[in-house]
Structure 1
Amino acid sequence: MSLSKRLVEALFLVCLGAAMSAERPKDDDALQEFLIWQSRDVAAVEQRFRATMAAYPDGSSEQAQVATQVARTLGLQQRFDEGHALLDQLAPRLDALPPIVTVRYLLERGRLFNSGKQKDKARPLFEQAWDKARTIEADYLAVDAAHMVPFTVAPAEQLAWNLKAVAYAEASRQPRAKRWLASLYNNIGMAYQDMGQYEPALAYFEKQLAERRQQGQAGPLRVARWMVAHVHRLMGRHEAALAEQQALERDNAAAGEVDGYVFEELAELYLARQQGDEARRYFGLAHAALSQDAFLQRDQAERLARMKLLAGQ
């Protein structure tokens, strides 16, 4: 997927749950809600999860489920060995714990392999999680598993899995499952975009935008607006794209945030409009912001090099 970091950001901005405190959830419903989390400060979330994990009895299902999320935060920090080591401690006890623990274990083991460039090991784990989650009617986790498979398969298979995930989420009666819809619409839009089919891509990005407006969270909403504007640029609708990216720049400034992806899009738009000075300035701003990102340094070094070149640096 060509804009993988922006997509990852959209996927993890699902909802702001109770994970922003270290309190021990009082029952299983509260625990499941707690484990739906959003934060750009993954290290801080890791520490909150560790504090909560310590509040549960050793060997309990609750402690084990929180442990899987600690592993997830380690993967997001590219501390893959630590994440696997934590799940290794959990693995021998899975048969004695409720099946939802196994589902979460499979998901997070798969994510660690996927992020660590071992997609052949990740895919079967996601597929096992998909099957097992449906068996126990854990719809939120079933959709989570289905939406992860496309990251491990060839482009020809990605759309089918994304459509499978969205159909399952739309049919579910569980609110936690329906929270996935915005991210799933984004995934499908990305799949169509990567195939050069911009009209259906735009339709799904607009569906995502409607979901994000309904959810009312500023960060995810700005990402959804960015996706719509981005595909407008790809379709040659430069005026609409420019107006929205400029609005996003203003909104980010008002919120005290810097978004290098907005700068990059503005640079590309000014380049297409042959506004050389503005293009160079925004490529410079984009490079300054995005060159600090370890994900892009590792996976998209050529993209960063192009920004630097076009900035005249």
Structure 2
Amino acid sequence: MPPRAASRPSSTCRTRPCWHSRATTSARSPSTRSNTPNACAGRPLQNGGMRTLAAFCLCMGLWATPAQAIDLAPLWDFARPEVSEQRFRAALADAPGADALILLTQIARSQGLRQDFDGARLTLQAIAGRVGTASAEAQVRYHLERGRTYASATHPPPLLTPEALQQARQAFERAFELARAAQLDGLAIDAIHMFAFVDQAPADQLKWGLAALDVSLGSQQPQARRWEPSIRNNVGYALHQLGRYDEALSQFQQALALREQGTNRQATFVAKWMVAWTLRSLGRNDEALRIQLQLEQQADASGTPDPHVFEELEALYRGQGDQAKAQHYAQRQAEASRR
């Protein structure tokens, strides 16, 4: 089953890894370092469209945190993008020029999250003529959101045509280049991790995840450091897809440790689920069952029964040969999915 993950530092995505958010602890293990492309080792990025990340990663720790414009976090509710759009439009009333452009990019993003990609492109098209002379952050966000109208977590596979993927790649490349030049580390990571929607093979997704992780770990900027648990989730998912379950578990456990230091209960819930999911893949079913039962209790207590938990419990009990409990959770999963 497809796992859940955080799409960006402030949100969780229920159906896909966070190769996007709209979005992950310590250094990677030696085995991961030796088996995976490392952008900070000076290897060129795919297709030659971007220069190496080597110099960028080496100097990240020397950069001071640049001033950023409007704080978007309080306005975003990724579970309710229509509510977010209302907040952005309300904030437009007294926003200065650069902030107004940034708010419009986020309106486009909220439209994309609802799969209104044509509407998102129209929103961005309306500001295209003003972006070139706007702030660096506004320019980066414009290109990021333009890329996301062609490839993102919400795109059905038929829309991910070669032409669309090329449009997305070019936009993400431009966003990264601008973010790097402006020392906007968090937005640079956002651009890097979006390439996993363009290059969808697990090995490529792992490469991009590790490149983003290098930037996050090498940065002193809070906006970049906040990406770490989401990125580790993505790296873990790619490793899981490659059958490297022990390494995946390590990444998920590190992501969980970071989530437990924060206040986002839903993100912590999902991180625990990812750990349990991987334990089942490793055949450590008793440990997986214990975690999933705890998650069931937590979700039921909050009045939000979780179909992903029930699906895992069904699989675990079926593996034990307990068909009655497996059927019980199959029924619960079906009921919760209809909500």
Tell me if both proteins adopt one fold, taking TM over 0.5 as the criterion. yes
- Quote the offset at 1:230 in angstroms: 0.4
Structure 2 residue aligned with 1:219:
266
CA distance in 2: counterparts of 1:36 and 1:250, whole angstroms? 31
Structure 2 residue aligned with 1:3:
2
Most deviating of 195-204 and 101-110 = 101-110
Cα gap change, 1:240/1:226 in structure 2, threshold over 3 Å: closer, same or farther? same
CA distance in 1: counterparts of 2:147 and 2:125, whole angstroms? 13
1:51 aligns with 2:90: yes
Structure 2 residue aligned with 1:144:
190
Structure 2 residue aligned with 1:239:
286
Ranges in structure 1 where 5+ consecutive residues have no aligned partner: 17-27, 293-313
Which amino acid in 2 is paired with 1:258? Answer: P
Cα gap change, 1:89/1:151 in structure 2, threshold over 3 Å: closer, same or farther? same
- Quote the offset at 1:53 in angstroms: 2.0
CA distance in 1: counterparts of 2:136 and 2:9, whole angstroms? 26
- Quote the offset at 1:225 in angstroms: 0.3
Most deviating of 215-224 and 38-47 = 38-47
- Quote the offset at 1:119 in angstroms: 2.7
Work out whether residues 14 and 183 of structure 1, in 8 Å CA contact, stay in contact via their aligned partners in 2. Answer: no
Could you list the per-position Cα deviations for residues 14-53 of structure 1 after superposition, in whole angstroms to 9, with x for gaps in the alignment? Answer: 269xxxxxxxxxxx64614547844422221121111112
1:262 aligns with 2:302: no
1:229 aligns with 2:276: yes
Work out whether residues 75 and 88 of structure 2, in 8 Å CA contact, stay in contact via their aligned partners in 1. Answer: no
Structure 2 residue aligned with 1:178:
225
CA distance in 2: counterparts of 1:210 and 1:271, whole angstroms? 30
CA distance in 1: counterparts of 2:216 and 2:9, whole angstroms? 17
Structure 1 residue aligned with 2:242:
195
CA distance in 2: counterparts of 1:291 and 1:130, whole angstroms? 40
CA distance in 2: counterparts of 1:200 and 1:291, whole angstroms? 34
Most deviating of 225-234 and 113-122 = 113-122
- Quote the offset at 1:288 in angstroms: 3.0
In the TM superposition, what are the counterparts of 1:263-302 in structure 2 within 5 Å?
Answer: 263-290=310-337
Structure 2 residue aligned with 1:70:
107
Which amino acid in 2 is paired with 1:84? Answer: R
Aligned-residue RMSD, C-alpha: 2.0
- Quote the offset at 1:239 in angstroms: 0.6
Cα gap change, 1:111/1:50 in structure 2, threshold over 3 Å: closer, same or farther? same
SS in 2 for 1:11: strand
Taking structure 1 as the reference length, the TM-score comes to: 0.82
CA distance in 1: counterparts of 2:318 and 2:72, whole angstroms? 45
Which amino acid in 1 is paired with 2:294? Answer: A
* Higher helix content, 1 or 2: 1
1:207 aligns with 2:254: yes
CA distance in 2: counterparts of 1:142 and 1:257, whole angstroms? 35
Work out whether residues 75 and 87 of structure 2, in 8 Å CA contact, stay in contact via their aligned partners in 1. Answer: no
CA distance in 1: counterparts of 2:165 and 2:321, whole angstroms? 41
Cα gap change, 1:35/1:138 in structure 2, threshold over 3 Å: closer, same or farther? farther
Which amino acid in 2 is paired with 1:126? Answer: F
Most deviating of 42-51 and 244-253 = 42-51
Cα gap change, 1:120/1:279 in structure 2, threshold over 3 Å: closer, same or farther? farther
CA distance in 2: counterparts of 1:204 and 1:137, whole angstroms? 27
Cα gap change, 1:13/1:100 in structure 2, threshold over 3 Å: closer, same or farther? closer
Structure 2 residue aligned with 1:112:
149
In the TM superposition, what are the counterparts of 1:8-157 in structure 2 within 5 Å?
Answer: 10-12=6-8, 14=10, 29=68, 31-32=70-71, 34=73, 37-57=76-96, 60-115=97-152, 116=155, 117=160, 118-153=164-199, 154-157=201-204
Which amino acid in 2 is paired with 1:147? Answer: H
